Amino acid sequence: MTNKAKSPDRYYLTTPIYYVNARPHLGHAYSTIVCDAIARRKRAMGIDTWFLTGTDEHGQKIERSAQLAGRTPAEFATAISAEFRGLWDRLGLTYDDFIRTTEERHKRGTQHLFAALRDKGYIYKGSYTGQYCVSDEAYVDGPPGTPCPDCGRITETVSEENYFFKLSAFERKLLEFYDANPGFMGPESTRREVISFVRSGLKDLSVSRTSFSWGIPVPGDEKHVIYVWLDALANYMTALGYGSDDPADKARFEKFWPADMHLIGKEISRFHCVYWPAFLMAAGLPLPRSVRANGWLLFDQGKMSKSRGNIVRADTVQEVLGADALRYFLLREIPFGQDGSFSFDALVQRYNGDLANGYGNLVSRVVNMVHKYFGGVLPEAGAETPAEATLRESAVAAIAAFGPAFDEMNFSEALKSLWTLVGDTDGYLTANAPWKRPADRPEAEHVALQARVLATAAEAIRIVTALVYPILPESAAKVWRQLGLGEIKDAAKNSFLNEVAWGGLKAGTRFEEPAPLFPRAEKDALERMQNLEDENNRSAIEAASKQEGADKAPAPRVGSVKPPTVADTNVISVKPPTAGGPRVGSVKPPTVSEVNAESVKPPTRGGPRDGSVKPPTVTAPMVGAVNPPTVESPTAAVEAPAAAAAPEAPAAAPTSPQITIDDFVKIDLRVAQILVAERVPKADKLLRLEVDLGYEKRQILAGIAQYYEPEKLVGRKIVIVANLAPRKMRGLESNGMLLAASLPDGAPVLAGFLEDVPLGARLK
Ligand code: MSP
């Protein structure tokens, strides 16, 4: 089977649809910005383009996040979906449609697809007992307790009567398809992974669930909901009108399907390159022409993600440097397909180097001089000298290199070639110095030189601006106006990118007044961005803490409500103070310090007051930042359970820095129950625990093996720090930290309660 040939003057591209359990961050913005740049270029080439994005709103993960936030899944999904859409609008992204999987059109289309697959005999009923990763909404092979191969979280055992899709029937067909369509998926690493996954054998896939209800009902058997990935993938067609009888919908679907490109993150290639084509083959529908995977945006060495708590928001960058700066950075800095690190430092450097001092400065010099020397009217260039010929050749080379590189999604190289032209133009200006008349150069000759140099430089700028428009739309629009060319959007509508050639800027064109493009970012830009992130996290956490325990509380900033499913190390022990006399009458709890499984970190003394306790969702130093918090709030003093468990000991005046109640609420302490406890091979101190928080289960590695028999721990209710970044130990991911009192000899005593406390209850 090959992809259906489609008219080259149409182009349909999609982003992944985003889960609504987390507020948008730069990682999400990345895929959407890339699609936006492509869509703008296609349109400016006269191609009838359809750019789809949206939100993925069903599934157990969303249901649980909503529950935790005390809202219905529908309310919760609506709030977060609006955050995504609002951000795309603030960033000026030109999507043509935004689909929500909770919309009626999607429900209808997805049910239509399910029914088509069933009618064609590719869906049958069976029963499934196995492991399921709620976080990734994926089935996982292996015995109970198997961690998810993608995220490392412990899978849940599900046992259900399900509908199955005959994926096994497509093994050979998929391999043949990949062979016949070598351009179907990329980059090469994705292609290799996918092919080897399929070669290793495909099992039938469970495509319905009965254990929760937040989904699209299976047509005719409503106690089942359709598996979220089948539901989610269908969006690419339902948004066009698949499954609708309306003639307009039918026409749109006919016109744009199959998609020319699904742009996705690399971790979801299996769903897009294996399941999706198999569903389509089974339904007898044309397959997408390509799937392209972007790498991950890393921050502080980890994939930027809510669960790691290391996110940066696109708004922050936009507010300080502008949306174009963000677009430029993401496309220039990260070779598409590879992982790339994000840092404010690197961003500011690129911004100042390439935009403020590079392109921006060049435009401002030339436009200013045209105003100064020619009253704002572009002069006739006159006869070309070797210097102009060289610059023209450089422009021709940039034009030749940019398009193919961009179209192969090699944005970084495309921009590099364009910036060679920026650099050459700068050099040309400096070499010819139209602002300086040597004493021996006659006036008329100097004016001719000024005219030639400025007209030539302005033409080079026009070319850079036309080509860079899809990547720097706002700035290109400003430059276009300054060059007296009017609205670049209108030019784009007239397919101007098909006609970029040297010599388009005509003498006599009246330039507009110069206007600043990229004001240089001074030192405070970094600080401002960091402060914006901190402020945002503070308010998110405040909202979360208000929401906790108060159903009547106002709507929280929803994405922030679910405690990140992360943790750093394994045990927080509440240490008895080690020196000095008791603070008589004081209700201050002992200092909380962190006991790592493998190492015992001494508490930091006298560190900065708030620098030391950063909110869990912060961007910059995170994990170390929570180390070691001192619990000083009155609430904590009264309620800290482990304080009661701590043995009598001489108390010392706390020497750790004070924190405020705001700092304390950043630590998400929760009641959990131990379900599984076992030793970790070759690690004397470590126990592997699976704990139940009521709203989710997770794996925690705890350095308590020398003090607790694993069998005796099963069933015990404990307290964990629920919002520390995950951490790998001995190849296993630890997603939490236990609270324990530390005896003078270092032995931990796990915190617990006399009364029965529900799982997931928060300690405040
Ligand atoms: N809902 C599914 C996709 C269904 S598509 C039919 C999903 N959602 S997601 O919100 O978890 O991720 C959406 C996209 O954002 C993915 O492509 C993912 O790779 C991308 N990113 C999330 N964090 C990212 C980074 N830190 N860096 C780059 N992309 C990232 O998966």
**Averages of pLDDT over each 10 residues, the chain, 764 residues:** 63 98 93 98 97 97 91 97 98 98 98 98 91 86 84 84 96 98 96 97 95 95 96 98 97 98 97 98 98 92 75 93 98 96 95 98 98 98 97 98 98 98 98 97 98 98 98 98 97 94 97 95 92 79 51 29 25 28 26 26 26 25 24 26 30 50 74 84 81 83 83 82 80 84 72 76 82
Q: CA end-to-end span of the chain, whole Å?
A: 60
Mutate which of 31, 291, 299, 343 for ligand 1? The one with the most ligand atoms within 8 Å of its CB, which is 31
Mutate which of 190, 233, 296 for ligand 1? The one with the most ligand atoms within 8 Å of its CB, which is 296
**From the CB of 615, is ligand 1 less than 6 Å away?**
no
**From the CB of 19, is ligand 1 less than 6 Å away?**
yes
**From the CB of 268, is ligand 1 less than 6 Å away?**
yes
Mutate which of 17, 28, 57 for ligand 1? The one with the most ligand atoms within 8 Å of its CB, which is 28
Structure tokens at 763: 């300690």
The one-letter amino acid at 223? K
Angle at 240 between CA 195 and CA 28, to 5 degrees: 60
**From the CB of 305, is ligand 1 less than 6 Å away?**
yes
Q: Determine the distance separating the centroid of ligand 1 and the alpha carbon of 304, expressed in angstroms.
A: 10
Q: Determine the distance separating the centroid of ligand 1 and the alpha carbon of 352, expressed in angstroms.
A: 30
Answer whether 670's CB lies under 8 Å from 724's CB.
no
Structure tokens at 675: 């379900």
Nearest protein Cα to ligand 1, atom 23: 27
Does pTM top 0.85 for this prediction? Answer: no
Q: Determine the distance separating the centroid of ligand 1 and the alpha carbon of 30, expressed in angstroms.
A: 10
Residue carrying structure tokens 């609420």: 665
**From the CB of 312, is ligand 1 less than 6 Å away?**
no
Q: Determine the distance separating the centroid of ligand 1 and the alpha carbon of 390, expressed in angstroms.
A: 45
DSSP assignment of 255-315, as one string? Answer: HHPSPSEEEEEGGGHHIIIIIHHHHHHHHT-PPPS-EEEE-PEEETTEE--GGGT----HH
How many Cα atoms are found within 13 Å in the side-chain-facing hemisphere of 479? 28
Q: Determine the distance separating the centroid of ligand 1 and the alpha carbon of 16, expressed in angstroms.
A: 7
**How many Å apart are CA 564 and CA 594, to the nearest integer?**
19
Question: Which of ligand 1's atoms lies nearest the C-alpha of 304?
Answer: 26
Nearest protein Cα to ligand 1, atom 5: 16
Q: Which helix (H) or strand (E) holds 642?
A: helix 641-645
**From the CB of 323, is ligand 1 less than 6 Å away?**
no
User: Which letter, b or e, does each residue of 700-711 get, where b requires 16 or more Cβ atoms within 10 Å of its Cβ?
Assistant: bbbbbbebbebe
Angle at 148 between CA 147 and CA 150, to 5 degrees: 135
Q: Determine the distance separating the centroid of ligand 1 and the alpha carbon of 332, expressed in angstroms.
A: 21
Tell me which DSSP letter residue 559 carries.
G
Residue carrying structure tokens 């064109």: 509
Nearest protein Cα to ligand 1, atom 30: 27
Question: Which of ligand 1's atoms lies nearest the C-alpha of 236?
Answer: 6
Nearest protein Cα to ligand 1, atom 25: 27
Nearest protein Cα to ligand 1, atom 11: 19
**How many Å apart are CA 213 and CA 350, to the nearest integer?**
48
**From the CB of 232, is ligand 1 less than 6 Å away?**
yes
Question: Which of ligand 1's atoms lies nearest the C-alpha of 263?
Answer: 17
**How many Å apart are CA 494 and CA 512, to the nearest integer?**
22
Question: Which of ligand 1's atoms lies nearest the C-alpha of 232?
Answer: 6
**From the CB of 270, is ligand 1 less than 6 Å away?**
no
How many Cα atoms are found within 13 Å in the side-chain-facing hemisphere of 342? 28
**From the CB of 304, is ligand 1 less than 6 Å away?**
yes
Mutate which of 14, 23, 56, 298 for ligand 1? The one with the most ligand atoms within 8 Å of its CB, which is 56
Q: Please give the pLDDT value at position 48.
A: 97
Count the Cβ atoms, other than its own, within 10 Å of residue 602. Answer: 8
Q: Please give the pLDDT value at position 639.
A: 25
**From the CB of 60, is ligand 1 less than 6 Å away?**
no
Question: Which of ligand 1's atoms lies nearest the C-alpha of 19?
Answer: 10
Q: Determine the distance separating the centroid of ligand 1 and the alpha carbon of 18, expressed in angstroms.
A: 6
Q: Please give the pLDDT value at position 591.
A: 25
**From the CB of 296, is ligand 1 less than 6 Å away?**
yes
Structure tokens at 337: 């397909």
Q: Is 397 helix (H, G, I), strand (E, B) or coil?
A: helix
Closest CA to 641 of 714, 735, 724, 574: 574
**Nearby residues of 311 by Cβ (< 8 Å), 6 or more positions away:** 25, 26, 27, 299, 304, 305, 617, 619
Q: Please give the pLDDT value at position 657.
A: 54
Mutate which of 19, 134, 339, 565 for ligand 1? The one with the most ligand atoms within 8 Å of its CB, which is 19
**How many Å apart are CA 726 and CA 724, to the nearest integer?**
6
**From the CB of 31, is ligand 1 less than 6 Å away?**
yes
Q: Please give the pLDDT value at position 685.
A: 79
**From the CB of 264, is ligand 1 less than 6 Å away?**
yes
Answer whether 492's CB lies under 8 Å from 47's CB.
no
- Max alpha carbon distance in the chain (Å)? 98
Count the Cβ atoms, other than its own, within 10 Å of residue 188. Answer: 9
Mutate which of 25, 26, 235, 264 for ligand 1? The one with the most ligand atoms within 8 Å of its CB, which is 264
Q: Report CA-CA distances (Å) from 755 to 272, 717, 724.
A: 49, 11, 27
Count the Cβ atoms, other than its own, within 10 Å of residue 381. Answer: 20
**How many Å apart are CA 347 and CA 122, to the nearest integer?**
50
**How many Å apart are CA 77 and CA 59, to the nearest integer?**
11
**How many Å apart are CA 200 and CA 190, to the nearest integer?**
15
Name the pairing type of β-strands 727-729 and 302-303: unpaired
Cis omega (within 30 of 0) for bond into 641: no
Q: Please give the pLDDT value at position 409.
A: 97
Q: Determine the distance separating the centroid of ligand 1 and the alpha carbon of 198, expressed in angstroms.
A: 22
Closest CA to 94 of 549, 655, 649, 477: 477
Nearest protein Cα to ligand 1, atom 24: 27
Nearest protein Cα to ligand 1, atom 16: 265
Structure tokens at 673: 């129950």
**How many Å apart are CA 491 and CA 740, to the nearest integer?**
67
Q: Please give the pLDDT value at position 519.
A: 96
User: Which letter, b or e, does each residue of 65-85 get, where b requires 16 or more Cβ atoms within 10 Å of its Cβ?
Assistant: bbbbbbbebeebbbbbbebbb
Closest CA to 546 of 34, 13, 69: 69
Mutate which of 53, 216, 268 for ligand 1? The one with the most ligand atoms within 8 Å of its CB, which is 268
